[in-house]
A and B are shown apart, each in its own frame.
Chain A
Amino acid sequence: MLPAAHDDPFAQFKVTFFEECSELLADMEQHLGDLEAGSYENETLHAIFRAVHSIKAGAGAFSFARLVNFSHKFEYLLDELRTGKLTVEAELIETLFRGFDVLSDLIGFAQNGEVPDDAYGQGALDQISFYLNKEDASEAGEKGQTASSAGDAPDDSGAAAEPTAEAPAAAKQSLEHFRIEFTPREAMYRHANEPLLIIRELKDLGRTETTIDISRLPALNAMEPEDAYFSWVFDLWTEYGRDEIDEVFEFVVDDCDLTIVTLDHDDEVVDVEVSPGRPVGENEGFGLYVSPEDLVAGQVSASQAAEALKRQMASKIVPPETANNKQEQVEAAGTGPSAAPKASSIRVDVDRVDRLVNMVGELVITQSMLAQEVENSDIPKTDRVFTGMDELSTHIRDLQEDVMSIRMQPVKSVFSRMPRIVRDVSKKLGKKVRLVTVGEATEVDKTVIEELADPLTHMIRNSLDHGLESPEERLAAGKADEGTIRLSAEHRGGRIVIEIVDDGRGINREKVLKLAREKGVVAPDTTLSDSEVDNLIFAPGFSTADEVTDLSGRGVGMDVVLRNIQSLGGRVSVQSQPGAGTRFQLTLPLTLAVLDGMIVGVAGQKFVVPISSILETVRPPAADVQRMVDGSCLVRIRGEYVPVVPVARVFNFKGGEQDPSEGLVVLAETDGGRVVGLLVDELAGQQQVVIKSLESNYKSVRGIASATILGNGSVCLILDVDALAKMPVLMPAGKSGSKTQKAIAAQVAAE
Chain B
Amino acid sequence: MADNAGVDQSVPQGFDPKLIGLAQAGTDDLAAESGKMVQFVSFKVDDGEYGIDIMAVREIQGWVEVTKLPNTPEHVRGVLNLRGIIVPIFDLRCRFGNGLTEASALHVMIIVAVGHRIMGLLVDAVSDIITTNTDEIMQVPEVEARGDQKFITGLITVQDRMVALLEIEKLFDIDDLVALVSKAAG
Contact = CB atoms under 8 A, between A and B. Distances in A.
A704 interface: yes
B81 A714 contact: yes
A709 B68 contact: no
Q: Main SS of the interface on chain A?
A: mixed
B70 A746 contact: no
Contacts of A362: 83-84
Contacts of A713: 81
A714 B67 contact: yes
Interface stretch (B95-103, B158-166, B178-186): B178-186
B81 A703 contact: no
Greatest chain A CB density within 10 A among B14, B70, B78, B86 is at B70
Contacts of A745: 71
A696 B178 CA distance: 17
A54 B129 CA distance: 56
B181 A692 contact: no
Contacts of A716: 67
A653 B86 contact: no
A743 B67 contact: no
Interface in A692-751: 692-694, 696-699, 701-704, 707, 709, 713-717, 742-743, 745-750
B71 A694 contact: no
Max chain B Cβ within 10 angstroms of own Cβ: one of A605, A701, A702, A749:
A749
B71 A652 contact: yes
A749 B181 contact: yes
B70 A652 contact: yes
A651 interface: yes
B79 A750 contact: no
B66 A701 contact: no
A653 B68 contact: yes
Contact of B174 (A605, A699, A702, A742): A699
Interface in B69-88: 69-73, 76, 78-81, 83-88
Interface stretch (A23-31, A181-189, A353-361): A353-361
Interface string A360-387: 0110000000000000000000000000
Nearest to B179: A750
A92 interface: no
Q: Which of A692, A714, A746 has the most CB of B within 10 A?
A: A746
A300 interface: no
B117 interface: yes
Interface majority SS (helix, strand, loop, mixed), chain B:
mixed
Interface residues of B, number: 33
A717 B66 CA distance: 12
B118 interface: yes
Given A605-B67, A651-B71, A693-B86, A746 B80 contact: no
A359 B84 contact: yes
Contact of A704 (B69, B73, B85): B69
A697 B88 contact: yes
Interface in A675-693: 692-693
B56 interface: no
A55 interface: no
B86 A707 contact: yes
A32 interface: no
A650 interface: yes
B70 A743 contact: no
Nearest to B185: A746
Closest 7 CB pairs of A and B: A651-B70, A746-B185, A715-B67, A698-B88, A750-B182, A748-B71, A358-B84
Interface of B: 13-14, 65-73, 76, 78-81, 83-88, 116-119, 174, 178, 181-182, 184-186
14 contacts: A359-B13, A359-B84, A605-B67, A651-B71, A692-B84, A698-B117, A701-B69, A707-B86, A713-B81, A742-B185, A746-B181, A746-B182, A747-B185, A750-B182
